[in-house]
């Protein structure tokens, strides 16, 4: 390398160039000129590519809502003696309790949903995959012997080298992918969805050819049966559509010494309502921290006991702080509320058939956080491999939840993402694994009546090709709640 020095030699303004050798320590790398994209931008690019195409015209408004200020609800604390006074103050500011103000419309129940894609483009020979599966689960065909002979003969001929071929011809090598390129390819395949008969199919979640269990029915639910389980004690106050007023910080109740209400996403109340809690029931809350849904379930005043699990000690500290600020000390230290740091993926295998109701609010991409906050973002380049394992962890958590539930009990699976593989895809994969590997029968229950009762306050997905097994709350600037997906599952045996 050389550096150039310009010297003025005389008054005639003549220049002379003097070259001096100079050694640099190292060659400048190309990566130093490349500006790293923030995690939020990577998240937006991901959603634009994978979600934007599926939601089509609705995506721009949803994208805008994700980037806008979210709306909250105030869940009142029944342990405050001045509860009615706090409710009146919120009402004077335009708030109202939406839980007890339901309005039933029509149910979007669609009946049977198939787990099989046997008649799709996978059957290139025109045969049905199910017809090719024998009673023992192995593929069979009357012409297997003939086909094997033809294949063997063809393979032998392919190994012969023709005398006319040029042995010196160049054979280009296949492209070798780097580790980063392999991760990008795996993530693309994981999010690749195929639609067949208005169904969402995730090729990485489950085998498309299912032998004996190639469909399952969604258990219909009448409006009366659904709405009679709405808890009377649970009060969640929101503002009307288009009203972006913010709640004031919660007051400390002078008599009880506890905070008057808890602020949370109103869509997070829906999984609690879907659980159909009843008096003196036992509840398991997997992945309970930081405690919003645990708080909502306790405010129904229905569970006899509730077990709160989380594998993170730091997150469990936040849960304990929430309980301490809102509930009496003797209440949270009794056998009614149990807090435990444990791996929820294995908990159900050691505590089978133990709970009446189980909530599996699993870790997910957390769309709203991913597009607005760089801290602890799932789309950091260093977390790509971890992100690819997320769906497998969700499946194991749901299986653990079902095993911990008593036969006849209800499990609610919920996420806060729009991703179909992490929503319907995980539910389908877990159901197949439960049937084939664990000999446990479950059925998805219809949550249409519950969505219809609160359609006035939330924007629910109406595209069965994007979400068919559960309900999905879509963010909107007029009612900026969600995203929130929940699916109601009943364990049969």
> Do the beta carbons of residue 312 and residue 290 sit within 8 Å?
no
**Hey, CA dihedral for 223, 229, 231, 236, is it positive or negative?**
negative
Structure tokens at 460: 């629910």
Structure tokens at 353: 């058939």
Does the annotation place 293 within a ligand binding site?
yes
310 forms beta bridges with: 341
Does the annotation place 291 within a ligand binding site?
yes
Does the annotation place 250 within a ligand binding site?
no
Does the annotation place 361 within a ligand binding site?
yes
Axis crossing angle, helix 426-437 with helix 390-404, rounded to the nearest 10:
50
Does the annotation place 37 within a ligand binding site?
no
> What distance in Å separates the CA atoms of residue 180 and residue 385, rounded to the nearest whole number?
9
Does the annotation place 287 within a ligand binding site?
yes
Which residues are catalytically annotated? Answer: 416
Does the annotation place 157 within a ligand binding site?
no
**Hey, CA dihedral for 451, 456, 458, 463, is it positive or negative?**
positive
Does the annotation place 84 within a ligand binding site?
no
A 10 A CB-CB count for 354 gives 17
> What distance in Å separates the CA atoms of residue 324 and residue 290, rounded to the nearest whole number?
13
Does the annotation place 126 within a ligand binding site?
no
Going across the sheet that includes 261-264, the strands are 96-97, 236-238, 73-76, 261-264
Does the annotation place 225 within a ligand binding site?
no
Residue 183 burial (C-beta neighbours within 10 Å; 0-12, 13-18, 19+): middle
Listed as own residue / partner, the contacts of 370-375 with beta carbons closer than 8 Å and 24 or more positions apart are: 370/39, 370/40, 370/43, 371/40, 371/43, 371/44, 371/47, 371/66, 371/67, 372/40, 372/66, 372/67, 373/40, 374/38, 374/39, 374/40
Residue count of the chain, please give it.
493
- In the annotated binding site, the residues are 287-293, 310, 343, 361
- In the annotated binding site for S-adenosyl-L-methionine, the residues are 287-293, 310, 343, 361
């Amino acid at each position: 390398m050389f550096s150039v020095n310009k010297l003025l030699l005389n008054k005639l303004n003549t220049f002379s160039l003097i070259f001096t050798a100079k050694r640099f320590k190292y060659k400048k790398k190309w990566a130093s000129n490349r500006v790293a994209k923030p995690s939020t931008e990577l998240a937006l690019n991901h959603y634009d590519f994978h979600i934007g195409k599926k939601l089509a015209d609705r995506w721009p408004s949803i994208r805008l809502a994700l980037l806008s200020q979210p709306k909250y609800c105030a869940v009142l604390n029944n342990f405050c003696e001045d509860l009615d006074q706090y409710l009146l103050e919120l009402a004077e500011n335009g708030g109202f309790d939406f839980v007890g103000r339901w309005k039933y419309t029509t149910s979007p129940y669609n009946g049977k949903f198939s787990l099989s894609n046997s008649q799709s483009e996978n059957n290139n020979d025109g045969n049905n995959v199910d017809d090719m599966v024998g009673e023992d689960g192995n593929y069979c065909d009357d012409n297997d012997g003939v086909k094997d002979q033809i294949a063997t003969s063809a393979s032998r001929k392919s190994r012969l080298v023709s005398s006319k071929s040029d042995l010196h011809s160049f054979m280009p090598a296949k492209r070798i992918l780097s580790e980063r390129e392999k991760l990008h390819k795996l993530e693309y395949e994981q999010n690749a969805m195929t639609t067949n008969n208005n169904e969402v199919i995730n090729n990485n979640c489950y085998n498309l050819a299912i032998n004996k269990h190639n469909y399952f029915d969604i258990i219909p639910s009448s409006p009366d049966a659904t709405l009679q389980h709405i808890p009377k004690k649970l009060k969640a106050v929101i503002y009307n559509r288009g009203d972006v007023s913010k709640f004031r910080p919660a007051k400390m109740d002078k008599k009880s010494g506890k905070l008057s209400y808890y602020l949370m996403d109103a869509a997070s109340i829906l999984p609690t309502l879907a659980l159909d809690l009843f008096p003196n029931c036992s509840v398991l809350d997997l992945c309970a921290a930081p405690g919003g849904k645990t708080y909502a379930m306790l405010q129904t005043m229905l569970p006899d006991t509730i077990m709160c699990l989380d594998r993170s000690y730091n997150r469990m500290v936040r849960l304990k702080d929430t309980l301490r600020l809102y509930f009496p000390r003797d209440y949270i230290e009794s056998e009614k509320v149990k807090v435990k740091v444990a791996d929820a993926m294995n908990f159900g295998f050691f505590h089978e058939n133990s709970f009446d109701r189980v909530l599996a609010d699993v870790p997910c991409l957390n769309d709203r956080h991913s597009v607005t906050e760089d801290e602890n973002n799932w789309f950091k380049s260093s977390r790509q491999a971890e992100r690819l394992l997320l769906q497998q962890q969700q499946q194991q958590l749901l299986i653990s939840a079902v095993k911990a539930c008593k036969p006849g009990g209800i499990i609610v699976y919920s996420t806060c993402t729009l991703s179909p593989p992490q929503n319907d895809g995980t539910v389908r994969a877990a159901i197949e694994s439960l049937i084939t590997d664990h000999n446990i029968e479950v059925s998805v229950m219809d949550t249409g009546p519950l969505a219809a009762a609160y359609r006035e306050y939330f924007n629910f997905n109406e595209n069965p090709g994007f979400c068919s097994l559960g309900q999905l709350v879509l963010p909107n600037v007029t009612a900026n709640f969600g995203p929130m997906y929940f699916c109601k599952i009943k364990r049969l045996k």
